[in-house]
Structures are given as structure tokens and as C-alpha cells.
Amino acid sequence: VSPNRRTEAARFAQLWNEIITSFREEDLISDRKEL
């Protein structure tokens, strides 16, 4: 695997983590509103 590919994968993983985290935070907020 070339270093460039590895950097792209790391960036993608970081971005994906941020997306999942924001979705989880929105889920927590919407759950609290329902309660």
C-alpha cells in the first residue's frame, strides 16, 4: 500500500468517525426530547 493511499484511508476514517459521532449526538438529543 502506498503512503498516499494510507493517508487517504486515515482521512476517510477520521471523517467517518466525526459523522458517526454527530449522528449519535443527534440521536441522544432526539431521545431526550421524546422523554
Has residue 31 got a pLDDT over 90? no
| 32 backbone φψ class: left, alpha, beta (φ>0; ψ -120 to 50) | alpha
Max alpha carbon distance in the chain (Å)? 50
Categorize the per-residue pLDDT at 3 as very low, low, confident or very high, splitting at 50, 70 and 90: confident
pTM of the model: 0.57
Grid cell at residue 24:
449519535
Tell me what percent of the chain is helix, strand and coil, each rounded to the nearest 5: 90, 0, 10
Q: pLDDT for 12-24, tens place per residue? A: 999 999 999 999 9
Amino acid 19 reads I
